[in-house]
Structure 1
Amino acid sequence: MSVYKSRLKEFENLIKQDEIDIKALKKFIHSGIPECAKYRPICWKLLFNYLDPKRKNNWESHLERQRNNYRNLIKDFCIPPSCKDVDLSVDHPLSDNIDSSWSTFFKDNETFLLQIDKDARRLLPDISFFQEPCKYPCDIVVNSDTEIRLHHRVAPSTLSSANVERKGVGIKKINLIVKRAPENYQAMQKGQEANWEVVERMLFIYAKLNSGQGYVQGMNEIIGPIYYVFASNDEHAEFAEADCFWCFTALMSEIRDFFIKTLDETDSGIRGMMNKLTRMLEKKDIHVSNRLKEQGIFPQYYSFRWISLILSQEFDLPDVLRLWDSILADDSRFEYLICVCCAMIILVRDQILENDFEHNVKLLQNYPSMDINFVLSRANQLMEST
């Protein structure tokens, strides 16, 4: 029996248990999920704690409940007041009452939906997946008699009244908003929706549920790989949106400090994480560390994006998925992420020691193509020695 088939059989025996040994599974996944796409969705759902390894018999009822909960969130947050039973004598679109549903509607458009729309349209442009029609579009949205798609809310044709101002006793002044995101990806016709539209909806609902944090640029790059894993798998595609949303929410609960400016200086904040990388590089390769310091190449020039987006923009998507297998399966997930980042720097040490400031910045901001397993192998060595 080949090594691959033997490894695959071992993996299948693990995953088919009624009570999955999550410790053994994590150890297996850390070395890479067998390249059968059908296994990654179930593994990631376990790693995100979306599924409980100790109650496999209850998965069906749990998934049904979570998917119904998400469907209710779509109804609550994505359907505009004009499509709900709103008494216009009490809640009018021109009302300046801060508790007005219309006031919230227009504020959401201006505050974060415009940016979400822009980011969702340009997600992973190197692959066609996000521009393609979703296999299982949301029936609440695509089959509605009225237009309730989110991207229409930031289109000039519909976003015609948003800011209502009143000075003194005079008449109200309505400022028309004519902004919108450039259409890098086209929207679908009635009955269909593109995968990027699904991503836009998930990010919008997340921002609504997490008003203290809201939407921060880069979240689209984190949710993209998760949605791709679920939606591109025939066995998991039907409920990919709901499952992805809850898994993304779980991941964001772990890394939310990366996106909160007031927590930058804490150990779990983005600056604190970059400082950890600096200290590790000093210990593992002082020559490279000194070279970067001499040239004034600070971690924020390159590792801010590496850490906050979990390296989702530094490698091609298949490599990102393989990389995330190991990161998610590690008990010290983001300590391991720091090891991966440090390994990336050390693996290009010869170029760093030879190059000038300009070339080194370009090298680290546009990391060269490299076998991801080679990067992970070096990261494992750093983790063990640490």
Structure 2
Amino acid sequence: MINPKAPIPSSSSSLPQLLRCFTIFLYSIISMLKGKLKLPEKARKAFPDRLGSLVVGFDDREEDNAGLGSVFDFGEELETFQPNGFSSNRESDRNEGDGDGFDDEKMGGVGESDLRARQRPERESGSISVLQAIAAEEKRSDLEHELSQPEINLEKLQRVAATGLPDGGSLRATTWKLLLGYLPSSRDIWEKELAENRQKYAKLKEELLLNPAEVTRRKDGAMSSGDNQPADSDSDIDGPLKRHEISQEDHPLSLGKGSVWHQYFQHTEIAEQIDRDLQRTHPDMKFFSGDSSFGRKNREAMRNILLLFSKLNPEIRYVQGMNEVLAPIFYVFSTDADEQNSANAEADSFSCFVRLLSDSVDHFCQQLDNSSVGILSTLSRLMELLKANDEELWRHLEFTTKQVKPQYYAFRWITLLLTQEFNFQSILRIWDSLLSNTFGVQDMLLRLCCAMLICMKGRLLSGDFVANLKLLQHYPEINVEHLLQVARDLRVDASSYHFSM
């Protein structure tokens, strides 16, 4: 511990020496206070055991080492975690191998380097900003307090979620369920609502996902168990066996539209398509991929959800890409720290997946493409929003470069809710804002798509048709918090742009 009677460096001492002395003196005071004061548990979490864990280069030392040598470099910038504690670096380049990756040299120094996450050398994992640590703990505490109330304030929950939800625990899973309307605002009836919804899902699976032969077998078994007489008691045992009467609709070879077997075989083809798509869902994550029982179990649950959705929506069925929309929901619910919730992730994910698609399901229906609720109308509203906020860029894309139409790039952005444009951790952060938007998911989604164009303005203005198309179809890595801020700051021209409420 530092000697409080030690002489203070003279005015001729360098600034770094003064700062070092002040830092060590502050640490000694904190150490003494923590030894005498009894802090509550939450305060202890936010209050690190050593000041050095919050400062770059502060090595763990014994308390009797009171030398005033170099403790850390003051010329070195403090490292901070990216939002939600995830690194901005992708584990693997999405475009590796096909020549579509974008590096700093290809950026051409047009100004987008400030938008991309800064690349820094590896440092100690404990080197985080003090202010960020305090802010993150305050957000977590506020969120835990709000979710523990008998009546949830949804407006406050939306404001907190819009800034990003903490990782770990049950906070994101519970908040998403509330934002999607799966959980009611009254906490007292959560248990009842969850039990009913999970029971309904189990019944739907039994009715729609079982092989027709299995359904018939169960029915026959139920009828036999309820009859006091043996099933063949009235038959002549020595005579020929009687054939079961099978209607045309129940025959496995029937081609009738009403045949349960014909419907079953039709959905078998859809199930095969779902299986192929699930194999390509985030292949870099063990949660979704691999031959382990863990990965197979998760894919099987997602397969059930998508196949059940297809059977319940025969006009739309399953459309390629729905697996990407389901993935974030199922991941968040499956990793819920509450064991009962994680065990029922499949049922909860199905209900929330249906709710999420309810606002955008028309985008998957080709027959509605040219209608007011179809994808082409939505793409038109996107370009109107761009025109209202950056007419120069809008004019360049519409007229100067052979019309880089939004169908070429934004179709995927919108229908898949940006799930293929960013790494998985960034997707979770973006969805916090999407789901918490006061005016709905589609409002914030179009704002984000417009912001993605504006953030690439320099490169788009200087690029030709081919370069711009390649850029937008393989969107480069970007600082997600900056992108979200640009989206929030966009103005809406009421005379030419109208969000559906």
Task: Give the TM-score category using the shorter length.
Answer: 0.7 to 0.9
1:98 and 2:98 aligned: no
Q: Tell me the SS of whatever aligns to 1:85.
A: helix
TM-score between the two structures when normalised by the length of structure 1: 0.81
Task: Report the Cα distance in structure 2 between the residues aligned to 1:36 and 1:253, rounded to whole angstroms.
Answer: 28
What one-letter code is carried by the residue in structure 1 that aligns with 2:264? F
What one-letter code is carried by the residue in structure 1 that aligns with 2:320? Q
Q: Tell me the SS of whatever aligns to 1:230.
A: helix
1:256 is aligned to 361
Task: Report the Cα distance in structure 2 between the residues aligned to 1:315 and 1:365, rounded to whole angstroms.
Answer: 12
2:411 is aligned to 304
Deviation at 1:6, TM superposition (A): 2.1
Please list the CA deviations of residues 5-50 of structure 1 after superposition, one character each: whole Å capped at 9, or x if unmatched.
2222222221111100101111111111123452100000001100
Structure 1's unaligned 5+ residue stretches are: 132-184
Task: Report the Cα distance in structure 2 between the residues aligned to 1:34 and 1:384, rounded to whole angstroms.
Answer: 30
The CA RMSD measured in Å over matched residues stands at: 2.0
Please list the CA deviations of residues 301-350 of structure 1 after superposition, one character each: whole Å capped at 9, or x if unmatched.
10000011110110011110110110110022211211111111111111
Q: Given that residues 389 and 491 in structure 2 are in contact (C-alpha distance below 8 angstroms), is that contact kept between their aligned partners in structure 1?
A: no
1:16 is aligned to 148
1:85 is aligned to 216
Deviation at 1:261, TM superposition (A): 2.0
2:436 to 326, 329, 346: 329
Q: Given that residues 143 and 171 in structure 2 are in contact (C-alpha distance below 8 angstroms), is that contact kept between their aligned partners in structure 1?
A: no
TM-score between the two structures when normalised by the length of structure 2: 0.63
User: How does 1:45-194 map onto structure 2 within 5 Å?
Assistant: 45-53=177-185, 55-85=186-216, 89-90=246-247, 91-110=250-269, 112-131=270-289, 186=291, 193-194=296-297
Q: Given that residues 385 and 493 in structure 2 are in contact (C-alpha distance below 8 angstroms), is that contact kept between their aligned partners in structure 1?
A: no
1:216 is aligned to 319
Please list the CA deviations of residues 207-252 of structure 1 after superposition, one character each: whole Å capped at 9, or x if unmatched.
1111122111111111111001111223131000000000001111
1:354 and 2:354 aligned: no
1:225 to 324, 328, 335: 328
Deviation at 1:101, TM superposition (A): 1.6
Q: Which has the larger radius of gyration?
A: 2
Please list the CA deviations of residues 81-104 of structure 1 after superposition, one character each: whole Å capped at 9, or x if unmatched.
222326673322123343222111
Task: Report the Cα distance in structure 1 between the residues aligned to 2:287 and 2:333, rounded to whole angstroms.
Answer: 12
What one-letter code is carried by the residue in structure 1 that aligns with 2:148? K
1:199 and 2:302 aligned: yes
What one-letter code is carried by the residue in structure 2 that aligns with 1:229? V
Q: Structure 1 residues 329 and 385, CA, compared in 2 at 3 Å: closer, same or farther?
A: farther
What one-letter code is carried by the residue in structure 2 that aligns with 1:196? R
Q: Given that residues 182 and 352 in structure 2 are in contact (C-alpha distance below 8 angstroms), is that contact kept between their aligned partners in structure 1?
A: yes
Which has the larger helix fraction? 1
Determine what percentage of the aligned residue pairs are the same residue: 35
What one-letter code is carried by the residue in structure 1 that aligns with 2:446? I
1:363 to 471, 475, 479: 471
Structure 2's unaligned 5+ residue stretches are: 1-45, 47-133, 218-243, 495-501
Q: Given that residues 359 and 442 in structure 2 are in contact (C-alpha distance below 8 angstroms), is that contact kept between their aligned partners in structure 1?
A: no
Task: Report the Cα distance in structure 2 between the residues aligned to 1:241 and 1:206, rounded to whole angstroms.
Answer: 13
What one-letter code is carried by the residue in structure 1 that aligns with 2:212? P
2:157 is aligned to 25
Q: How many residues align?
A: 329
Q: Structure 1 residues 37 and 316, CA, compared in 2 at 3 Å: closer, same or farther?
A: farther
Please list the CA deviations of residues 68-93 of structure 1 after superposition, one character each: whole Å capped at 9, or x if unmatched.
11111111111102223266733221
Q: Structure 1 residues 98 and 280, CA, compared in 2 at 3 Å: closer, same or farther?
A: closer
Q: Given that residues 182 and 351 in structure 2 are in contact (C-alpha distance below 8 angstroms), is that contact kept between their aligned partners in structure 1?
A: yes
What one-letter code is carried by the residue in structure 2 that aligns with 1:222? V
Task: Report the Cα distance in structure 2 between the residues aligned to 1:267 and 1:17, rounded to whole angstroms.
Answer: 41
Task: Report the Cα distance in structure 2 between the residues aligned to 1:74 and 1:7, rounded to whole angstroms.
Answer: 39
Task: Report the Cα distance in structure 2 between the residues aligned to 1:283 and 1:370, rounded to whole angstroms.
Answer: 23
Q: Tell me the SS of whatever aligns to 1:19.
A: coil
Deviation at 1:385, TM superposition (A): 8.3
1:378 to 475, 478, 486: 486
Task: Report the Cα distance in structure 2 between the residues aligned to 1:304 and 1:88, rounded to whole angstroms.
Answer: 51
Q: Structure 1 residues 37 and 339, CA, compared in 2 at 3 Å: closer, same or farther?
A: farther
Task: Report the Cα distance in structure 2 between the residues aligned to 1:234 and 1:73, rounded to whole angstroms.
Answer: 27
Task: Report the Cα distance in structure 2 between the residues aligned to 1:103 and 1:348, rounded to whole angstroms.
Answer: 50
